[in-house]
Each structure stands twice: as structure tokens, then as C-alpha cells.
Amino acid sequence: MAIAEMRKVFIVGEISLREKAIQQLEKLALFQPEPMDKDLTLAIFKEERVKTQQIEENLSKIDSAINFLNQFEEKKFNLGLFPNKILVQKDKYLKWIKEFKWEEVYKNCLDIESKIGKLKEEKQALQEKEHLLLPWENLSISLKKLKEKKWTDYQLVVFPSSIVTGLQERVQKERMHLELVSQSNKNFYFLILFLKENKNQLESILQELKGEKIQLEEVDIPSEELNKIKAMTFQLKKKIEKKLKEARKINRDKVKLMTIYDYFLSLLEKKKASSQSCLSNYTFVLKGWIKKDDLPLLQKGLENLFPLEIVVQSPKNREKKIPVALSNKPLFKPFELVTNLYGLPHYFEIDPTPFLAPFFVLFLALCLTDGGYGILLALIAYIIPKKIQVGEEGEKLFSILFFSGLVTIGIGIITGGIFGFEFSNLPPFLAPLKKLVLFNPMKEPMTFLMIALGIGIVHLLSGIFLEFWDDLKRGNIESAILDHLSWIILILGIIIFALVWTGHLGGIFKNVSLGMILFGIGTLFLFSGRKSKNLFIRFAKGGYELYGLLSLFGDVLSYSRLLALGLATSVIATVVNTIARMAWGVPIIGPVAMVLILILGHLGNLAINCLSGFIHTARLQFVEFFGKFYESGGKEFKPLKEEGKYLIVK
């Protein structure tokens, strides 16, 4: 069974055993606690409210400290998709929990972060002031002394370069002195000296010529002020670097911080489990779910706790909120990743994982087509998990890619392509491979298209059949025959008729196919709206159901994208080889250039088409296949267990 059978469990025991029982359940990692139903709670039992605020605050503090220290971590190679966990020995884990003073580290991180923030703000303010003063760097006179004059005053002004022409005469006409301090591509920076009695005339000039007044009231000599700013900025950089060194030193304790975080996280989960139990004066009751196959392990794991009893119930038919645990054979287990991307099935629903698996690898292989790319993909998918920690989900992904690579090798053999080369161009010792070639997609695209559409029809029929099978399992015979079997017969009838019409089947099958088509159309038209008492509505619903044939043809055409992606991969591979061959003729660097083009070109082509192929293959599963029978929306089975965010404890 692809979905593991679940059992509802009630653990009842003496109240003094509750914490020990929860600790043991965490070690066993078999039991998912769940709040007690209010209608099942007896008057003598009461829900317990466990305070978790302090633990949550501690987690928040430690998390903020870890996030602060992350910026000082040396960058290590990581694919980015799979978070690495750190392996810590059990004795170290227990020692750090007892001895490590995380509060001091948190306060130090908080203090350093605050001081670095303030120093950076000061530095930013100085840089803004420096940016303002830079155009006036050549101004080496005292602005304060100019301001103190009895009869004259000054003004720093910025004029757009487009209207500077004629400015000198205009200013002199008003008995003012204009001094160019600096200029840029867009602006001219001037010092204007004027009589105080002519201030209004200056305002008029500025308004007319769009001059911008610059106020440097706290600045005396701009050049000296800039030197001071540079010196102060240098000192601030030194202070910031000093604080950064302190942070890097603290960063050595980050693993210990992670240990404490995982400890509090585990404690929080246990507290939450405690809060889901009900208590009387002498006993406790804890309700939850467990896989049926794990019941003996649970009973054995709790046998040393006495007095304690385990009460087991089978889930009621169509009971809601039953957690779902997928339980597939090793060959299909990696494809649970695809199912999880869409959403888990409900407990009483079909698990699509083993049914989508063969189609997924086949579709992705058809998108790649090339046998050489299959070899590369299989090697990469095999080696990376061996060299890099990719986690459980990462291992599933690379297993899917590995299987897809193997199937791609097979597709490459029957289509006669390896790294963009046709088998006809291979050396004589590889001649036996030529006998395995069935067709060339580049020369026979219609054959490839028919294969893609044919596989698509099988894919869609599989989805409809699974819905038919699901209805039979539920005992809904009427719906199984009238709603689903009728579609299967209709589609098969159309296929047989098409084969007869094209001459691939004898005329004897013509009447059989017409009978199947008429049966399917008649059944769908007459019975699709059978729940309605109004005859007109029934026939209208039947007509609308038959209109779904057009939608079905559209679904089949979606599989033509397999042809497009497969041909694109082959064409690009051929182009890479052509460019590499042209590069060979370049003097001196030709051979090196050719090798680089071949390596980078084929790897890039594989990466791009593997990504696009994976996305389109997933789309075909989610939209076309799942749309025929699958609802999703199941709740994942999450047993209480010792699993940290950062560490793996051994």
C-alpha cells in the first residue's frame, strides 16, 4: 500500500510517567501527538496549558544571534537548494547544553551588532557630508570670515552647465563677483560675492537661471573640513573592523549556539506534546497517530513504563484529519518528491507516486533525447550526493535525475544520437549500436510527434483508469462505470477507428470501434446529469460532458512539447559541435578553444534543457495526469522526534 495504514492511539498512564513517556516517544520517533477531541474528554480530565513563552523567547534570541554571526561564516561550496546540517557527537551535545553560557554570547552579539550599526550610521553621515563638500574642495578660504563682513556677503551656487553662458556678464552687471570653484559634466559650482544691499537681485538671478543655493553654515574652510572627514572616516573604519574581529571570534561558538537552539526546539516540541495531553488528578491521556506497522515498536518502547496502557483504534471510514505517510518501495520512493510538490493525497485517496514515476523519467528522457547527455546526467546525479550533503529531499531529486539519465541513454540509443553526433558518424568498432537505432528525430520529426502523442494518450488514460479504480474501491460502481469507464471506452474506440482509417488495422475493427464510440457517447450524454430530475438539465449536462472531448484533444496536444524540447536539445548539441569544429581552425588557441566550447556548450545545453524538461514534465503530471483523478490536500504525518534545525546528533 503506497499510503501507510494509520492507527489512532491513546496512551493512558499515571501522571508521574507523562514526561518520561513523552521523552521516550521523542526517541522512538513513531508517534504524532494530537489534541484530544472535546467530545471524547471526560469531565474528570482537563486540558493542561503549558507555558512556552520563555522557550520561544530564548529561541528568538538565539536565532537572531546565529543570523548575525552567519555573515562572518566562510563561504563554502553549496548547491544552495539543500541546507547542510552539522554532525555533532552526543557527548559534546550534552556537554554544551550544560556548560555553554549562551546568554553571554547573545548579549555580546547584540552589543556588537548595535555598535557596528551606530558606527556605520556615523560613517554614512560623514560620507554624505563628504559628497556635499567634494565640489568645494578647491575652496581654501574661510567661509565664516566671509560671513562676518559688514558690507558684503557670499553665496555658494550650483548652475546647470546648459545655462552658464552669459552668467558672468549678468552677475557683473549687478556688481557681484563670480568665482568658478569646480565643474562636472552637468553642473558648475560657483562662489558669488555680493553687496548685502543686492541680495534681492541675486535671488532674482538664481530664480531666473535655475541656480541652486548650497548652505555650508557649519563649515569654515571646505578643504580642511574634507581632510577632517577623511581622518574621521578612517578612524570609524578601524573601529568597525575591530568590532568585526570581535564578531569573528565569537563566530567560533556558533555551533554551540546551534546546539542550544536545537535543544530548546526539542524542548518546545515536548512542551507542545504535553499541552495536547489531558490530565485528571492521577492519570494522563495522550492521543495521537502511528503507522500500523510501527505499533509493536511503540509497545516495546513503552513497556518499561508502568502503569501505562496503549489503546489502539482503526480510523473511521472517511474520517477527516488523518495524517498521511507515503510508504513506497525503494524504486518509487524518490518520486514522492514530485507528489509532495503538488500536495499529499488524502488518507483514503490513491497515492499517485508509483504511477507517475515511469512517466516522469520517460518524459524527461524524451526532452533530452541524447544518449551522451543521459550518461552525463546519470554520472552527475550519482556523484554529487556522494560528495556533497544534500539532505533527504536532495537525495530524492538526484535519484530521479539518475533514473532519468539511464532512460535517456536508452532513448539516445534508439534515436541514434550521442553528444549531437549521429550513430552513422561513429567509429567502426561502435557499428553494432547502429542496428539499435529505430528512427532519427531530426529526419523523422512526425514519427517522434506520434510517439509523444501516443504516450500522452496512455498517460491520460492511466489517470482516468485510476479514478475508475478509486470509485470501485469505494464501492461507487455507478460512478465508476457511467463517469469513467465510458470515457475509457470512448477514447479507445476513437483510437481504434483512427488506426483503421489510417490502414494500420483491418476493416474488421471498424464496427467494433464505432460501437465503442457510440456506447461512450450515449452513456455520457444520457447519464452525466443523472442526479438532476429535470430532463432538460440532464441532457444539457450530458452535452457539456461530451464537449470535454475538445478539452481532451487539447490535453493530448500538450505532449507535443516533448517533441519540441527533444529536438531543441539535439539541434543545440549539433550547433555546439559545429562551432567547436570551426574553432579548431583558429591558429594556436584552436584546440583549446574547441575543447572549452565542447565542454561548456554541452554542459550548458544539458543544464538548460534538463531544467526546462523537468518543469514541463512536472506540469504534465500536475495538470494533465493529476487533473483526471487527484485532489491532494492531505496532512503530512509528523511524528515527535529528535530532529534539530541545525544539527545531526550521533
Higher local confidence (pLDDT), 324 or 170: 324
Residue 612 confidence (pLDDT): 94
- Predicted confidence (pLDDT) per residue in 250-272, tens digit: 998 899 999 999 999 999 988 88
Q: Are 437 and 413 in contact (CB under 8 A)?
A: yes
- Per the DSSP assignment, residues forming a β-bridge with 156 are 191, 214
Name residue, grid cell 549500436. 433
- Predicted confidence (pLDDT) per residue in 109-139, tens digit: 999 999 999 999 999 999 888 888 888 888 8
**Could you give the 3-state DSSP secondary structure of residue 81?**
coil
Comparing 53-57, 309-313, 528-532, 556-560, the range with the smallest average pLDDT is 528-532
Residue 78 confidence (pLDDT): 54
pLDDT band at 42 (very low <50, low <70, confident <90, very high): low
pTM for this one?
0.80
Q: Are 307 and 13 in contact (CB under 8 A)?
A: yes
Name residue, grid cell 541675486. 202
> Ranked by mean pLDDT, which of 192-206, 280-294, 495-509 comes out on top?
280-294
Share the mean pLDDT of the chain: 87
Residue 39 confidence (pLDDT): 57
- For the stretch 573-576, contacts whose Cβ atoms lie closer than 8 Å and that sit 24 or more positions apart, written own/partner, are 573/370, 573/372, 573/373, 573/417, 573/419, 573/420, 573/602, 573/605, 574/420, 574/442, 575/420, 576/420, 576/601, 576/602, 576/605
Residue 139 confidence (pLDDT): 81
CA 5 to chain centroid: 30
Amino acid at 539: F
- Predicted confidence (pLDDT) per residue in 335-387, tens digit: 999 999 999 998 988 999 999 999 999 999 999 999 999 999 999 999 999 88
Higher local confidence (pLDDT), 634 or 73: 634
Residue 144 confidence (pLDDT): 77
Residue 82 confidence (pLDDT): 58
Residue 325 confidence (pLDDT): 93
Q: What are the start-end ranges of the E strands in 292-412?
A: 308-313, 323-324
| Domain residue limits, the chain | 141-220, 350-628
Alpha helices in 416-534 (DSSP H): 445-474, 477-479, 486-501, 508-527
Inform me whether the pLDDT recorded for 317 exceeds 80.
no
Inform me whether the pLDDT recorded for 180 exceeds 70.
yes
Domain 141-220 has CATH 3.30.70.2750: yes
